[in-house]
Amino acid sequence: MNFKDKVVLVTGSSRGIGRSIAVKFAKAGANVIVNYKTNAKEAEAITEIISSYGTKCMCIQADVSKEIEVRHMIETIIAEYGRIDIVVNNAGIAIDSEFDDKRVRDFQDTLDTNLIGVFLVSKYAGNYMLKQEYGKIVNISSTNGIDTTYPYSIDYDASKAGLINLTRNLAIQFAPNINVNAVAPGWIDTEMNADLSKNYLKEEKDKILLKRFAEPEEIADVVLFLSSDKSRYIDGEVIRVDGGIKFA
């Protein structure tokens, strides 16, 4: 797939799945904007790497849950590139804890980043896409938002379920020239799961038909497909990428 001269924002791309998506887009010729919240060192390192592929990349710090920061990020992109073609709403957090220890603060922070953050970025970027009469928005949900739910991530699961409905509503709002879709990954090997016990992770692996977690690149491949014109007749949809977890 060729994304030459496309302007692509990947939120939360300092590491993990977002980083992998940013690398793939840059290799495919896109001008990529790396976004992060706190991890400037990693974000700048990945921006330097992808700039070496010969496209115009930049790095913007912005907390997606803060409206003023999101607006500033999108305005900076428009000032620099004159347009925004693709947005991947990837930034997300998970604060796992026992059900009885779950605090309202954790619930609020999770919804602020995983749900309201996607709304804000989509709203500000989508309004430019409407003027361009072109755009693709891909939201990273989770199978936790569909059926692989766990009480200790009740807030995360609710945020990812909400994101699927948000995706459908955004597809309606931005039709007919902007496609809005979601990807629902199962387990991926990233820092987000670094604190979970080995035993627990093995049990979870056994529930997957393919008997392994996904590599971040395997999610990135689907994101690029949904951002390309090869998927131009897919809109308001959610695609599971879970190695067959629902059948095992």
**C-beta of 11 vs 122, nearer to ligand NDP:** 11
* Stretch (H or E) spanning 88: strand 86-89
Is residue 156 annotated as a catalytic residue, yes or no?
Answer: yes
Kindly state whether residue 124 participates in binding ligand NDP, applying the rule CB under 6 A: no
Question: Do 224 and 25 form a contact (C-beta atoms < 8 A)?
Answer: yes
Binding mask 200-239 for ligand NDP (x = CB under 6 A): ----------------------------------------
* Strand-strand pairing, 31-36 and 135-140: unpaired
Distance CA 106, CA 119 (A): 19
- Interface residue with ligand NDP among 22, 32, 59, 93 (CB under 6 A) is 93
Binding mask 125-164 for ligand NDP (x = CB under 6 A): ---------------x-x----------------------
* Strand-strand pairing, 135-140 and 178-185: parallel
Mark 72-92 as b/e (b = at least 16 C-beta within 10 Å).
ebbeebbeebebbbbbbbbbb
Which residues are tagged catalytic?
Answer: 156
Q: What residues make contact with ligand NDP under the rule CB under 6 A?
A: 11-18, 35-39, 63-65, 90-93, 113, 117, 140, 142, 185, 187-188, 190-193
